[in-house]
């Protein structure tokens, strides 16, 4: 009897040892910390990634799906495209300014890493002096608050007044039905803690907010959408907000709009203008949904479209 039991268990033990040897080290399955550091004149720029969001771009872009799928294939991509969500931390030397804050928990579990990446990058949320919001969609304002508390306790938050009037408006929330309510609830839970603390200041006109950072209204994506121009020692970075969402499609053909725009016609005109000037002047651009680290240059492709050239990887020196 003992022999009969021993024999099969010995075989199983041998099999287990073999399986363990073949399995090797377990896969780590997490990404490197999502921050990227560079300089712009005297300023230090840190791109902060919040994670990625899967976007079924062939459904959302305003052109036939087969055209989108062909453009994606040229970039070795398939829909849904894992789309970066980024914020930009600018240390001017006298002010620490964050532009956009990611989604936190508003857009699901693949996002919400911006604050931990900010900490990994060597800063603390309480050091942030000013936060400028490109527009009040959840993936840009969500990181401002957690459980209705301010995540950046010492920061003044600024965003376009037209967006504040629209998204922080209880009457608009009451009128909305179903999922459309989220469009208002997200901004409200994120920004109202700052409003209550007297730390929200709407931007009413194009202006210099701190030395070296200016706001420019271009309201097609949302009514009060703003791009921010960062400039130091003659070097310039223009943060385009959501003037584009799908880099593998919209640089080559900036005429393609997306369903997320409140006025796609205006948004398209703004995108074309932004790309044309960036290509002409040769300055650096950044945008929330460019692939992390979301910085690069634009040049014309000779056919009325553009090519995005991501930055070379560099170490701070």
Binding residues for Zn ion, rule: CB under 5 A, are 137, 139, 242
Alpha-carbon distances, residue 181 vs 92, 147, 312 (angstroms): 37, 19, 41
CB of 289 to Zn ion, least distance (A): 6
* Helical (H) or strand (E) element with 17: helix 2-23
Between residues 43 and 145, which has the closer beta carbon with respect to Zn ion?
Answer: 145
CB of 53 to Zn ion, least distance (A): 9
Between residues 130 and 139, which has the closer beta carbon with respect to Zn ion?
Answer: 139
CB of 249 to Zn ion, least distance (A): 16
Between residues 50 and 139, which has the closer beta carbon with respect to Zn ion?
Answer: 139
CB of 15 to Zn ion, least distance (A): 52
If 0-12 CB within 10 Å is exposed, 13-18 middle and 19+ buried, where does residue 251 land?
A: buried
Between residues 213 and 258, which has the closer beta carbon with respect to Zn ion?
Answer: 258
If 0-12 CB within 10 Å is exposed, 13-18 middle and 19+ buried, where does residue 126 land?
A: exposed
Between residues 85 and 115, which has the closer beta carbon with respect to Zn ion?
Answer: 85
Beta partners for residue 157, in sequence order: 131, 200
CB of 135 to Zn ion, least distance (A): 8
CA 270 – CA 272 distance, rounded (Å): 6
Strand pairing report for 96-99 and 130-132: parallel
């Amino acid at each position: 009897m003992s022999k009969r039991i021993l024999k099969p268990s010995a075989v199983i033990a041998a099999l287990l040892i073999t399986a363990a040897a073949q399995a090797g080290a377990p896969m780590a399955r997490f990404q490197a910390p999502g921050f990227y550091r560079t300089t712009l004149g005297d300023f230090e720029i840190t791109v902060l990634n919040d994670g990625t969001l899967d976007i079924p771009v062939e459904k959302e872009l305003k052109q036939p799906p087969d055209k989108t799928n062909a453009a994606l294939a040229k970039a070795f991509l398939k829909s849904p495209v894992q789309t970066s969500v980024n914020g930009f931390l600018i240390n001017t030397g006298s002010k620490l300014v964050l532009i956009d804050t990611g989604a936190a928990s508003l857009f699901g579990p693949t996002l919400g890493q911006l604050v931990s990446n900010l900490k990994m990058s060597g800063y603390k949320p309480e050091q942030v002096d000013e936060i400028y919001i490109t527009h009040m969609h959840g993936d840009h304002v969500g990181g401002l608050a957690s459980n209705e508390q301010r995540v950046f306790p010492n920061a003044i938050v600024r965003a376009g007044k037209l967006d504040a009037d629209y998204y922080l408006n209880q009457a608009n929330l009451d009128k909305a039905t179903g999922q459309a309510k989220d469009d208002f609830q997200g901004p409200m839970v994120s920004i109202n803690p700052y409003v209550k603390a007297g730390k929200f200041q709407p931007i009413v006109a194009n202006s210099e907010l701190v030395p070296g950072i200016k706001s420019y209204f271009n309201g097609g994506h949302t009514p009060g959408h703003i791009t921010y121009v960062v400039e130091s020692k003659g070097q310039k970075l223009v943060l385009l907000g959501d003037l584009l969402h799908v880099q593998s499609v919209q640089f080559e053909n900036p005429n393609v709009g997306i369903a997320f725009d409140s006025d796609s016609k205006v948004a398209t005109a703004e995108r074309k203008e932004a790309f044309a000037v960036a290509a002409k002047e040769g300055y650096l651009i950044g945008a929330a949904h460019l692939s992390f680290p979301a910085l690069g240059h634009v040049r014309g492709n000779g056919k009325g479209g553009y090519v995005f050239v991501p930055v070379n990887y560099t170490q701070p020196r």
